Amino acid sequence: MKIQKLASLLLILVATVFSFGAYAEDGDIVDNYAYYGFEPDLITNYISTGKKMGFVRIGIELMVKDPDDLIALEHHDPLLRAAILEIMGSQTADKVKSLTGREEIRRECYDTVNRLIERETGKAIIVNLLFTKYLYD
């Protein structure tokens, strides 16, 4: 009974892992997405009103189509990190704390890092930018 449950879980896991890639008719993987995470998380202040200083801590993952592009992202990590910190530091408390503001910030970060990496490498390699952690005070 335990072996059957284990086999079922293993089958579900394998099916889940393989469902994330897109396959051509001949079975070759068309898209082989990879992720680059900024370590450690990015922490900065934002524009707040009153005496209390506000800060935000975000975890960011950059999605690329080709795992070979991770080398370029790692090389340009300081440039991309500085650009994101500059964007976050110029936000208002209302924007940081609202869901629509958060999405606008994410989109601005995506557009900026994609523009910077395209300028540095000659191609836009970032498919998406994900906030995996978003904490503010």
Place of tokens 């099916």: 15
Total domain count, the chain: 1
Domain for residue 77, yes or no?
yes
Which structure tokens are listed for 88? Answer: 């976050």
Domain for residue 101, yes or no?
yes
b/e sequence 80-119, b meaning 16+ C-beta within 10 Å: beebbeebbeebebeebeeeeebeebbebbbebbbebbee
Domain for residue 18, yes or no?
no
31-75 pLDDT, tens per residue? 789 999 999 999 999 988 878 889 999 999 999 999 999 999 999
- Above 70 in pLDDT, residue 128? yes
pLDDT classification of 11: cutoffs 50, 70, 90: very low
- Above 60 in pLDDT, residue 3? no
pLDDT at 30: 57
Provide the domain limits for residue 110. Answer: 34-136
Domain of 132, CATH number, reads: 3.30.479.30
